[in-house]
Structures are given as structure tokens and as C-alpha cells.
Amino acid sequence: MGLGTDVRLSRLFSHPSGNLFGIAVDHFVGYGNVREGGLANLPEAVNRCITAKPDTMTMTPGTAKGCWPAHAGKASLIIQASYWTPDDRIRDRLATAADAVRLGADALAVAIGVRGETEGDFIRWLADAVRDAAPYELPVVATHLSARLLRWREDRVHPRGDRLRSTRGHRDRRGRHQGRLSR
């Protein structure tokens, strides 16, 4: 692990406990009508989230460009690199490691589905992201959802908390899963 990775990981895990409290702010592609509720005004949602003093905030490149400048330095930025719906009607990558570095991010997040016929595509997304991030010494956060969790998500419960388990045990300050870091 090089100096760049060490610096970025130390910012991500800067809380004295060694854990992190992260907020993902704009991951709404599969949530239905987002023009109502807490994400109707995305800049205000980011403003409200930052008042919770998270260690990290994860968002898409567009949200980072439009909503993050006023909050730069208040938390580590993680750029969300992919999005998809459980039925695969929407499935694409939207950022690269180079994009994340240009935006000043400390990590790149890759959401993948570990299930069904498209599982190989998702694993390829993750492998490509890790390979592309290596020259920048940019950590990659892999957030994964299994078929069991996707069924649970269909009940409109966001898949976070005790039902997700990390093979490396990264948990936020409250003990909830926050994804897996890959170096």
C-alpha cells in the first residue's frame, strides 16, 4: 500500500474509534418518485446530512459538482461509480477512478449485485474499478446486495444495518455495515 492510499484511508477512518459514519445521499435510481420527500431538494438534503457530522458522504459525480463545494473538507467525499435497479432495467457505470480523483474524492464506491445472470457484469465492474484506481492509490468501496437482500429491499426498506455483513467487518460508529474497502 502506497502513501496515497494511506493518506486517503486515514481521512476516511479519521474518527478516534477507527470506525466511520458514512451517509449515501443520492442513491435513488430504484426508489420510485424522488420528487417527493427528502430528496426533492437535493442541495438541501446534502446540507441537512452534513449537519450530522459524517466522516464520509457518498454521492454521484453530478451531485458532487453541484452540491459538494460548500462542504468540501467537512467530510471525506466518496464518489458513487455505478447504479442499477433490482430488475436490471437500469444498469450502468457513471464514474471512473480518474473522475473521482478530479473531484477530490478519497474513495470510489462501486455498487454491485451478487445474483443472477448479470452477476458477472457486476464483478467485472468491481474488478475494473479496482484496477483503474490502483495507479491513483484510490481505495474502492464495494457495496454489494445479494438476491436475499434484494427481496428484502422490495419491501421498500433500504438495505443497510444488521442485515448486511462485511467480510472485513467495517462498521460505522453505531455498528452498522458501511461497505468493504479494497486496496
Would you call 180 helix, strand, or coil by DSSP?
strand
Q: What angle do CA 78, 38, 19 make, to 5 degrees?
A: 35
Span 79-121, pLDDT tens digits: 999 888 777 788 888 899 999 999 999 999 998 888 778 888 9
What's the CA gap between 157 and 149, in Å, rounded? 10
User: What is the Cα 142 distance to its own chain's centre?
Assistant: 8
Q: What pTM does this model have?
A: 0.78
CB 128 within 8 A of CB 140: no
pLDDT at 118: 85
Q: What is the mean pLDDT of the chain?
A: 80
Query: How many other C-beta atoms can be found within 10 angstroms of the C-beta atom of residue 173?
Result: 15
Residue 174 in grid coordinates: 453505531
CB-CB neighbours of 11 under 10 Å: 16
Percentage of the chain exceeding pLDDT 70: 73
pLDDT tens, residue by residue, 124-169: 999 999 999 999 999 999 987 665 555 544 444 334 333 333 334 4
- Taken in order of first residue, the domains within the chain and their CATH numbers are 3-182 (3.20.20.70)
Torsional sign, CA 143, 146, 147, 149: negative
